[in-house]
Amino acid sequence: MDYAYFDTLNRARQWAENVMAAGRLSRHDCQAVFDVDTRGPDSLFAADAGASDDRPLIVAFMGGTGVGKSSLLNRLAGQAIARAGAERPTSREVTLYHHQSLSIRQLPSGLPLDSVSISQHHDAANSHIVWMDMPDFDSIEQGNRRMVLEWLPHIDVLIYVVSPERYRDGKAWQILLAEGLKHAWLFVMNQWDRGQTVQYADFIRQLHLAGFADPLVFRTSCMEPEGDEFAELLRQLQLLSGRHCMQQLEERNRQQRSGQLGQILQAIQARLAAGDFRQLENFYSGHWQKQQVVLQQGLAWPLRQYAGLWAGQPGQKPDIKLWDDWAQGCLCDMLDELVLLADQLQIPARPLKTALQAIAGHAEKRMAQQMELAGRSALLNPGNALQRFFLTLTGVCETLLPLLAMAAVGYQVFLGYYRGAAETGVYLGTDFAVHSVLLIGLSWLIPFFLHQKIRPSLQKAALSGLQKGLQQGLLAVDADIRAILAEEQDRHAALRQELAALITACQTVTPERKPQQGLLARVLVE
């Protein structure tokens, strides 16, 4: 058994299961990985033979109705082990002929064993060959074709039997072209006693067109066997059943399997490579800039109403939604457009949609919290830094200047009183009193007036804070969406790397194919 190949196949199938479960590829994209046929010739009789290198060569006669397949097997056995001609049954049946040392119980359980006719022989020369007579795949019985296709993976060598009258059969050629690379082929033009050289030459030309550069074609006649090439056919099969040829056939089988799996994985890789994340990011960047402007304009009125109610009723929460249904709908519509474009660009849409839906689901609460927090922060420190500096300065002046004025007036009163008492002069006049009152009043009134004019509006402060919170929230949403796009791109790249590793494993399992020489070059299509 080719353990390296089956390990790679199992890894590929597990990888496909994971990407399908994640929604990154569809069942249709990965189905070919699961449809890989793991059956092979080594599954027949391998248990009795010991190792796969020592197993017998599985040979099957295949052809259309009436070409004489069963007659050739009967001739080989020296007795009627397969019914032929008018006696051949129309039911599905495979006639199997093998050495007595092999046991039918070792056949895979999946095969329809109830439709197998078994005969044994004692010929040691053919002990390493298992002969099979396949049903007529072109008969009116539809089950015959299914039976042939069911057994084909278990066969090493197909002996393609034709007759002079039926060597151009269309159905036969379809199977030949479909299965040509998977088996070794020998060709028999049976009933040669009725054949002509021109038919033989034309048949060889047809084989050349099918890819056989130098096919082995044997002319046989069960009615007039003397002098035909049946003995040469047996000799070539005995050569193919030798250890060296069997090892080469096994190696080619491994190459075929690994090469097929590699081609399937390369097709999936091409599907993954088609995703254009750059175009998706460019679309998002342009669309998001426009969407931000729309959201800011559309939410301007609700924010102004919220700020007015908030400033007019401190401590009470206005009954207005900061991030309303309209804003949520705009965001969801944009995210839906992003998912739709991703699908058109052959980027996995399902995981992207799931991630973006999480953003949309938390957007309303998140944006409202962000705007309210920014609004509250703005109310704690209304205005800008320059405003707050002059507001503090006028507040200090509002207290300090009247005190200084009153100190100056008091000093003048004290000084006037002292002089008046000492010099017996006039104490203080009416003008002084009026000027003192004006000085003290203006020293308080001017800073108070400036303080009131400089004081920022709570409504404006709240509105500015809410707008700032909206901008911060939109920046956060933008960052989250870009992070999701980057994460999806990284995950996509990681999947491609994993797939590339599997393809490399297939290439490691399948060494560079060397051209076949000798007998194998004539029975194989490269």
**The 3-state secondary structure of 230-265, one letter per residue:** HHHHHHHHHHHCCHHHHHHHHHHHHHHHHHHHHHHH
What b/e readout covers 180-197, taking b as 16+ CB neighbours within 10 angstroms?
A: bebbbbbbbbbbbeebee
| CATH number of the structural domain 41-81+93-257 | 3.40.50.300
* CA atoms of 240 and 159, how far apart (whole Å): 13
If one counts every other C-beta atom within 10 angstroms of the C-beta of residue 131, the result is 26
Q: How confident is the model at residue 465 (pLDDT cuts 50, 70, 90)?
A: confident
* pLDDT attached to residue 109: 58
The partner residues of 121 in beta bridges, in order of sequence, read 99
- The vertex-430 CA angle with 426 and 431, nearest 5°, equals 105
Provide mean pLDDT across the span 31-50. Answer: 71
Which of the two residues, 476 and 521, has the higher pLDDT score? 476
* CA atoms of 479 and 292, how far apart (whole Å): 13
Single-letter amino acid code for the residue at 88? R
| 479, pLDDT greater than 90 | yes
Range name among 258-272, 277-291, 309-323, 476-490 with the lowest pLDDT average: 309-323
Which of the two residues, 83 and 491, has the higher pLDDT score? 491
Which position has the token pair 């060494």?
511
If one counts every other C-beta atom within 10 angstroms of the C-beta of residue 3, the result is 8
* pLDDT attached to residue 510: 54
* pLDDT attached to residue 50: 43
Q: How confident is the model at residue 190 (pLDDT cuts 50, 70, 90)?
A: very high
| 46, pLDDT greater than 70 | no
What is the sign of the dihedral through the CA atoms of 202, 205, 207 and 213?
Answer: positive
Q: How confident is the model at residue 243 (pLDDT cuts 50, 70, 90)?
A: confident
Instruction: Name the helix (H) or strand (E) containing 96.
Output: strand 94-99
* CA atoms of 207 and 261, how far apart (whole Å): 27
Provide mean pLDDT across the span 287-297. Answer: 93
For 116-162, how does the pLDDT look when each residue is reduced to its tens digit (9 = 90+)?
Answer: 778 888 888 888 888 988 887 766 566 677 777 778 888 889 999 99
Q: How confident is the model at residue 14 (pLDDT cuts 50, 70, 90)?
A: very high
- Strand 57-63 relative to strand 116-121: parallel, antiparallel, unpaired? unpaired
* pLDDT attached to residue 101: 80
DSSP assignment of 462-511: HHHHHHHHHHHHHHHHHHHHHHHHHHHHHHHHHHHHHHHHHHHHHHHHSP
Contact between 152 and 44 under an 8 Å Cβ cutoff? The reply is: no
Q: How confident is the model at residue 434 (pLDDT cuts 50, 70, 90)?
A: confident
* pLDDT attached to residue 274: 79
Q: What is the mean pLDDT of the chain?
A: 82
If one counts every other C-beta atom within 10 angstroms of the C-beta of residue 394, the result is 20
Provide mean pLDDT across the span 206-224. Answer: 88
Provide mean pLDDT across the span 258-267. Answer: 90
* CA atoms of 260 and 388, how far apart (whole Å): 77
| 307, pLDDT greater than 90 | no
* pLDDT attached to residue 65: 82
In terms of phi and psi (left: phi > 0; alpha: psi -120 to 50; beta: otherwise), the region of 211 is: left
* pLDDT attached to residue 91: 42
Instruction: Name the helix (H) or strand (E) containing 125.
Output: none
* CA atoms of 311 and 345, how far apart (whole Å): 49
Provide mean pLDDT across the span 165-184. Answer: 75
The partner residues of 417 in beta bridges, in order of sequence, read none
Contact between 155 and 55 under an 8 Å Cβ cutoff? The reply is: no
* pLDDT attached to residue 433: 81
CA-based nearest residue to 48, from 117, 99, 115:
99
- The vertex-297 CA angle with 294 and 298, nearest 5°, equals 80
* CA atoms of 72 and 95, how far apart (whole Å): 12
CA-based nearest residue to 73, from 154, 161, 165:
161
* CA 307 from centroid of its chain's CA atoms: 49
Which of the two residues, 137 and 333, has the higher pLDDT score? 333
Contact between 5 and 509 under an 8 Å Cβ cutoff? The reply is: yes
* pLDDT attached to residue 326: 93
* pLDDT attached to residue 127: 83
Range name among 85-89, 283-287, 448-452 with the lowest pLDDT average: 85-89
240, burial (CB in 10 Å: exposed 0-12, middle 13-18, buried 19+) = buried
* CA atoms of 298 and 314, how far apart (whole Å): 25
For 47-66, how does the pLDDT look when each residue is reduced to its tens digit (9 = 90+)?
Answer: 444 444 578 889 999 888 88
CA-based nearest residue to 371, from 506, 301, 462, 445:
462
Identify the three-state secondary structure at position 526. Answer: coil
* pLDDT attached to residue 83: 61
* CA atoms of 331 and 399, how far apart (whole Å): 53
Domain ranges of the chain: 41-81+93-257, 277-382+458-501, 385-454
List strands edge to edge, sheet with 157-162. 116-121, 94-99, 129-133, 57-63, 157-162, 184-189, 217-219
Give the phi and the psi of residue 62 in degrees, each rounded to 5.
-135, 140
* pLDDT attached to residue 291: 93
Provide mean pLDDT across the span 181-206. Answer: 90
Which of the two residues, 175 and 122, has the higher pLDDT score? 122
Q: How confident is the model at residue 1 (pLDDT cuts 50, 70, 90)?
A: low
SS3 content of the chain, % helix, strand, coil (to 5): 65, 5, 25
In terms of phi and psi (left: phi > 0; alpha: psi -120 to 50; beta: otherwise), the region of 85 is: left
The partner residues of 196 in beta bridges, in order of sequence, read none
* pLDDT attached to residue 49: 41
Q: How confident is the model at residue 172 (pLDDT cuts 50, 70, 90)?
A: low
Instruction: Name the helix (H) or strand (E) containing 97.
Output: strand 94-99
| 310, pLDDT greater than 80 | no
CA-based nearest residue to 296, from 384, 382, 371:
371
| 390, pLDDT greater than 70 | yes
CA-based nearest residue to 220, from 367, 17, 61:
61
* pLDDT attached to residue 2: 67
Provide mean pLDDT across the span 288-308. Answer: 90
